[in-house]
Structure 1
Amino acid sequence: MSKRLEQMRANPRADWRIEEIVAVCGEFGISCAAPRSGSSHYKVSHPMMREILTVPFKRPIKPVYIRKLVQFIDAVRAFS
């Protein structure tokens, strides 16, 4: 179990940074691709998931994106 994921689950309103999102995705083998030119959103994806979650780079990252990320990670873990 990831300590960072549990912190995100417990407090999605904290001042989360994109680096922390990239790190937690890496812990679970989830791709978190940096934005290409002209875009401001990271793309979170996994081969087992049809959905692609987009997370804005701009701070502060809103709690709704953290909640969606936690749900996405939970869904990936359920398939594994």
Structure 2
Amino acid sequence: MSKADKILAKMKINPRDWRIENVKIVAQNYGVEWRQKGTSHVVFIRNDGKTLPIPAHRPIKPIYIKKFIDFLDS
């Protein structure tokens, strides 16, 4: 089990108090690209073109972590 898999498993159990760096690690492992060009949001982009913007503030609100998990699963 890779580091990203462990982080994702912990995110599913507890979606509170995560940092954007952890989300980027998981995204990179699952082939999801991301961009942040001088903005307060990081936009995650799947291969099919769907996007998910997440605010880069600390900590990330649980609703965004839940949306990210659904974004990876679908």
Do Structure 1 and Structure 2 share a fold, with TM-score over 0.5?
yes
- Structure 2 counterpart of 1:78: none
* C-alpha deviation, 1:47, in angstroms: 1.7
Q: Tell me the SS of whatever aligns to 2:53.
A: strand
Structure 2 portions without partners, runs of 5+ = none
Give the alignment's Cα RMSD to 1 decimal.
1.3
How does the TM-score come out when normalised to structure 1? Answer: 0.81
- Structure 2 counterpart of 1:30: 32
How does the TM-score come out when normalised to structure 2? Answer: 0.87
Give aligned-pair identity as a percent: 39
- Structure 2 counterpart of 1:6: 9
List, as ranges, runs of 4+ consecutive aligned residues in structure 1 with deviation greater than 4 Å: none
Larger radius of gyration: 1
Structure 1 portions without partners, runs of 5+ = 76-80
